[in-house]
Amino acid sequence: MTARVEFFFDLSSPWTCLAFYNLPGVLERTGATAIYRPILVGGVFNAVNPAVYAAREQVDNRRLQHSWKVLKDWARLAGVPMSFPSQWHPAKSIAAMRFCCAIEDDQEALVRFAGGAFTSYFDRQENLDDPAVLAAIADAEGLDGAALSEVASSDPVKARLRANTDEVIARGGYGSPTIFVDKDDMYFGNDQLPLVEAALTR
């Protein structure tokens, strides 16, 4: 059976972390299935949403400052540890997302690795751009970190990450997480998961 939900994600996004942990409840309540698709959110921003960078540079940006408070409120509601922002923010996530692409075809392994990476970055405040950190996450999740690191640096995996990122842009996405229901019904962010659930129950 084809998955009804596609979850395009980048590990460096705190809102994606929350959606990652909240989505399983939606799937359980609706009986839907999901497929997880790694992307490079920086590539998305560069192509269609460069205003994100400008907003980060505004030190007196009230909306951005308030968003950190709202983020922690959502994290508390979801029961997800959220020690953010850290010294590594904004993270360079290209190495981490290549790790994800290297195991994208094994969705169960991808979900395990992503969960470990989210905990590493948003709870323990580790550097998501450090290959040693990524290998350790993989090892802790029962994967071969050294082997995965080697595959992640291969040309086919690099091409796959570019292709996934180009695909979500072509389909209208502008950030992470971008969520599709039944291929063309698009939603964005943790806050819109109730709408995702409503779409799945219609």
Looking at residue 15, what is its pLDDT?
95
Distance, CA of 133 to CA of 119 (rounded, Å): 12
Give the residue carrying structure tokens 């922690």.
Answer: 72
Closest CA to 164 of 3, 1, 7: 7
Rounded to 5 degrees, what are φ and ψ at 103? -120, 20
Closest CA to 190 of 8, 16, 65: 16
Looking at residue 56, what is its pLDDT?
62
Summarised one tens digit per residue, pLDDT across range 102-139 is 999 999 999 999 999 999 999 999 999 999 999 999 99
Between these two residues, 85 and 174, which has the higher pLDDT value?
174
- pTM higher than 0.75: yes
| Mean pLDDT rounded to a whole number for the chain | 93
Give CA 168 to chain center in angstroms: 13
Rounded to 5 degrees, what are φ and ψ at 37? -125, 110
Summarised one tens digit per residue, pLDDT across range 48-101 is 977 765 656 666 778 888 988 999 999 999 999 998 878 878 778 999 999 999
Between these two residues, 46 and 53, which has the higher pLDDT value?
46
Looking at residue 1, what is its pLDDT?
53
Could you tell me the domains of the chain? 5-201 (3.40.30.10)
| DSSP one-letter string for 56-108 | HH-TT-HHHHHHHHHHHHHHHHHT-----S-TTPSP--HHHHHHHHHTTTSHH
